[in-house]
Amino acid sequence: MKKLLMTLCLAGAMCQTVVAQIETAQVTGGKVQGVVTDGLSIFKGIPFAAPPVGERRWQAPTPTPAWSGVKQADAFAPACMQPENSMGNTAPVAEDCLYLNVWTPAARADAKLPVLVWIYGGGFSGGSTSIPMYDGAGFAQQGVVFVSVAYRLGPFGFLAHPELSRESGHGSGAYGLADMIAGLAWVRDNIARFGGDPGQVTIFGHSAGGMAVSALAASPVAKGLFQRAICMSGGSFAPLQTSNQQVTGLGIPSLPVAEENGAAFFRKLGVADLKAARALSAGEIQQGASGGGPDAIRFRPVADGHIITSDLYSLYEAGRFNDTPVLVGNTSDEGAAFPGGEVTPESFTQQIKAQYGPHADSILAAYPHATAAEAAIAARGIRRESSFAWNTWTWARLQSRHGQGKVYQYFYDYHPGAPEGTGSGHGSDVPYAFQTLASRREPAPEDVKLSSLISAYWVNFAKTGDPNGSGLPAWPAFTEQDQKAMVFDAAPGARPVPNLDKLKAYDAYIDWLRGQAK
């Protein structure tokens, strides 16, 4: 058996040399064979559910069929159906896409290493596990087992429809989340064969993946499948969307609204019922979801009454969530990735007054906008708060208020060479955590240093539920009484949560919305 030596140097620990030698594993369905390279055993394209095709389209995932012999697990499976080149995905796409990947440094199956399970972002319409930035080697080389899980996207993962709700008996529109849960169940049942500890699982994701993490953290169906959670620029704690006109960041639509959208999608496809829709090809379904404009139908997780039982804020307030340690954060210029066109002081004022009603004046007061330059910064700022920063801060407050698990908040603000008035864009922290900076550009020594720091915090958190370690700047837990965040900039350190005045102004608006909903 081929054996490769690898030296692990963990933050706050002695370096240790291990021999990666897990080349085959017996998993649910049969035996798989991976490859051993650079000191890691790597398995790609392991099925964790039956192909969601034919009658299984728009159903919860079912167990993967058994196979005979040894399945080669040395290449990524096709990405789930999505528009071409979504989120940098260049892999072929297919409806048969429920596969996962494992990177492990374990020398033996009984190593009981912590496990990190990655959920990619992409607006619930794109993304894949094979994007080079998401390579798991950087984490695995620090002594954790890394798993990346695919999930259905767009109308394949998040279509709700009255017929589908009747068929399931408990709502519809959360198939992508059900895929993640099936992947976590696979981890529970199989990861020990790769040297992982099923009792030390950390789920983490970015953007839509972070929103999914927040949904799993409040889902009774996911209870017990993970012990820690990391969310990078995600979360969804606004009231449920009860109309298509009510859009609040990464809001979760109510089942009636999502079912109405599903019925409209069937009309767009030119089908009369569910049977006819299932008879269409995957390409025809995907084509029907393409295009933007005011009439475009957005697909994202639905409050189906089963996986997502209510809005997440209410579930936390009622103590109905999966209480674990949590690490959450966002970047300083999230809104730069979502341009809204040219902004003037007048147009910014009009936009805020139209959208925020009686709270418009307090929000305008929190965002200086007297000049065109200020208005541009203000527009990006309100997009940061409404979509990401408020969710980060609110999750931290709710976990601190109602949970036993500690919560750690961060704010990523490292952007050397960026134009004046801009900051760190959406997703700019992800390659630093993965240590995959070279997948985008040649990193400078300062980039590598910050990447090593962030990645070490993530690994420490996966090991203990606490990011702190020897030689790292101290990262205090967030509490409502002492609201601190680790700021990742040129001189990382813990400081008061940034933009607190803006967060409070937006929070007052959401609190008003919540009252209106009641």
DSSP per residue over 58-113, as a string? Answer: TS---PPPP-SSEEE-BSPPPEES-STTGGG--S-EES---EEEEEE--SSTT--E
Instruction: Output the domain CATH number for residue 113.
Output: 3.40.50.1820
Task: State residue 294's pLDDT score.
Answer: 61
- Identify whether residues 288 and 385 lie together within a single domain: no
- Identify whether residues 297 and 369 lie together within a single domain: no
Tell me, what DSSP letter sits at residue 369?
-
How do residues 159-188 score in pLDDT, each as one tens digit? 999 999 999 999 999 999 999 999 999 999
Task: State residue 11's pLDDT score.
Answer: 42
Active site residues: 207, 334, 426
437 belongs to a structural domain: no
Give the span between the Cα atoms of 86 and 74, in whole angstroms. Answer: 24
308 belongs to a structural domain: yes
From the CB of residue 139, how many other CB atoms can be counted at a distance below 10 Å? Answer: 24
The structure's pTM equals 0.94
Are 480 and 459 a contacting pair, CB within 8 Å?
A: no
Q: Residue 424, CB half-sphere, CA atoms under 13 Å: how many?
A: 21
Domain boundary pick from 324, 340, 357: 324
Q: Helix or strand or coil: residue 330?
A: strand
Domain boundary pick from 257, 291, 324: 324
355 belongs to a structural domain: yes
- Identify whether residues 290 and 212 lie together within a single domain: yes
- Identify whether residues 368 and 308 lie together within a single domain: no
Mapping DSSP onto H, E and C, the string for 4-70 reads: EEEEECCCCCCCEEEEECCCEEEECCEEEECEEECCEEEEEEEECCCCCCHHHCCCCCCCCCCCCCE
Mean pLDDT of all residues in 5-25: 58
441 belongs to a structural domain: no
Look at the chain and report how many structural domains it folds into. 2
- Identify whether residues 315 and 215 lie together within a single domain: yes
* Buried-state track 118-131, b at ≥16 Cβ within 10 A, e below 16: bbbbbbbbbbbbbb
101 belongs to a structural domain: yes
Per-residue pLDDT at 5 exceeds 80: no
Give the span between the Cα atoms of 243 and 245, in whole angstroms. Answer: 5
- Identify whether residues 93 and 60 lie together within a single domain: yes
- Identify whether residues 276 and 355 lie together within a single domain: no
Are 391 and 329 a contacting pair, CB within 8 Å?
A: no
Give the span between the Cα atoms of 74 and 54, in whole angstroms. Answer: 27
- Identify whether residues 201 and 66 lie together within a single domain: yes
Q: Which residues are paired to 488 by β-bridges?
A: 412
Domain range for 315 is: 4-324
Q: Helix or strand or coil: residue 425?
A: strand
Dihedral sign for Cα atoms in the order 268, 272, 278, 283? negative
Q: Helix or strand or coil: residue 181?
A: helix
Task: State residue 217's pLDDT score.
Answer: 98
Give the span between the Cα atoms of 390 and 65, in whole angstroms. Answer: 43
339 belongs to a structural domain: no
- Identify whether residues 256 and 361 lie together within a single domain: no
How do residues 474-495 score in pLDDT, each as one tens digit? 999 999 999 999 999 999 999 9
DSSP per residue over 213-269, as a string? Answer: HHHHHT-GGGTTS-SEEEEES----SPPB-STT---SSPPBBHHHHHHHHHHHHHHH
Domain boundary pick from 286, 307, 324: 324
Are 112 and 196 a contacting pair, CB within 8 Å?
A: yes
Give the span between the Cα atoms of 355 and 513, in whole angstroms. Answer: 12
- Identify whether residues 369 and 248 lie together within a single domain: no
Identify which of 117, 121, 43, 129 has the alpha carbon closest to the alpha carbon of residue 78.
129
Per-residue pLDDT at 3 exceeds 50: no
How do residues 218-231 score in pLDDT, each as one tens digit? 999 999 999 999 99
305 belongs to a structural domain: yes
337 belongs to a structural domain: no
- Identify whether residues 282 and 367 lie together within a single domain: no
- Identify whether residues 205 and 99 lie together within a single domain: yes
Are 44 and 36 a contacting pair, CB within 8 Å?
A: no
